[in-house]
Structure 1
Amino acid sequence: MRIDDTDRRILRQLMAEPELSTADLAARAGVTAATCWRRLEKLRDRGILKGQQAVLDWRALGYEVEVSLRLTLDKTQPRAFEEFIAAARLVPEVIEIQTFLGQVDLRLNLVARDMAHYQEVYRDRILALPHIADIEALMHVTSIKASEALPL
């Protein structure tokens, strides 16, 4: 889907400061508030702008451990992916589920309060998930770059 320079200016400003009011966003993008509102509605209607969300700092809420689990499933089971994903969605500590093509089938990101909590989640919830053939845990140390912004 093509967007023009005005849409790009609006989206750049919105990505930089998503909490801006429509009037402030319009001023920064160099358009009127009415134009900005109409453009935002069109971007939503076209599925380019999917909405806004609150971003929580899970560390500030007491979660100190982040682990990325790379999983390979037993693909001899016809519904392995569907059943695994349905079960993984029920684990509250799992904050992201991604599927891949290749040697690794899925990646789960999960958070825990501390290592004891992680071990409990891993043993009691993760290892109980269906159809796991192989699993590798990668302990998160630091984020170098984490951004949803696009080069518009």
Structure 2
Amino acid sequence: MQITDADRRILRQMMAEPGLSVADLAERAGVTAATCWRRIERLREAGVLRGEHAVINWHALGWEVEVSLRFTLDKTDPRAFDEFTVAAREVPEVIEIQSFLGSTDMRLQIIARDMAHYQQIYRKRILTLPHIAELDALMLVSTIKSSAELAL
């Protein structure tokens, strides 16, 4: 798909302020509302826009602990990755699952209400995940940058 300058302006405005109405978005991007709507639909159909979602501030809801767990899996079983992933998806406090090439095979991002809650999750749900060879935990202290925005 060929991305035009108008598409770039629309995408920049959507990233800057995701809740804008089509009319406001069109005005800021310098196109008519009808053109803006058609371009947004075209971007969705082409897979450039994958959807709109709420970004929740978990800390504001009382989830104070965030931990990144890095796993090396026992790869002697060819089903290790699939079985680990299926089991990790069942843990409600896992908010992100990533797979990697390198010394770390998988990473889980966990949230918990407090340290006691995290210890409960860790002991009852994380340590029971299948095919764990090694596990490393990183406690989040602060987020310096969190953005999916790139210059368009």
Normalised-by-shorter TM-score class: over 0.9
Match of 1:94? 94
Q: Report the Cα distance in structure 2 between the residues aligned to 1:140 and 1:68, rounded to whole angstroms.
A: 7
2:68 & 2:2 partners in 1: Cα distance? 35
Summarize the alignment of residues 3-152 of structure 1 with structure 2, pairs less than 5 Å apart.
3-152=3-152
Q: Structure 1: give runs of 5+ residues left out of the alignment.
A: none
Pairwise CA distance, 1:150:
1.7
RMSD: 0.7
Provide TM-score, normalisation by structure 2: 0.98
TM-score w.r.t. the length of structure 1 is: 0.98
Q: Residues of 1 paired with 2:62 and 2:55: CA distance? A: 15
Deviations 1:100-148 (A, max 9, x none): 0011001100000011110110000000000000000000000000001
Query: What SS does the aligned partner of 1:60 have?
Result: helix
Provide the rounded CA distance (Å) in 2 between the counterparts of 1:104 and 1:60: 31
Aligned pairs, number: 152
User: Equivalent pairs: percent with the same residue?
Assistant: 70
d(CA) in 1 for partners of 2:16, 2:45: 22
- Give the secondary-structure state (helix, strand or coil) at the position aligned to 2:58: coil
Unaligned 5+ segments in structure 2 are none
Cα distance in structure 1, aligned partners of 2:146 and 2:7 = 23
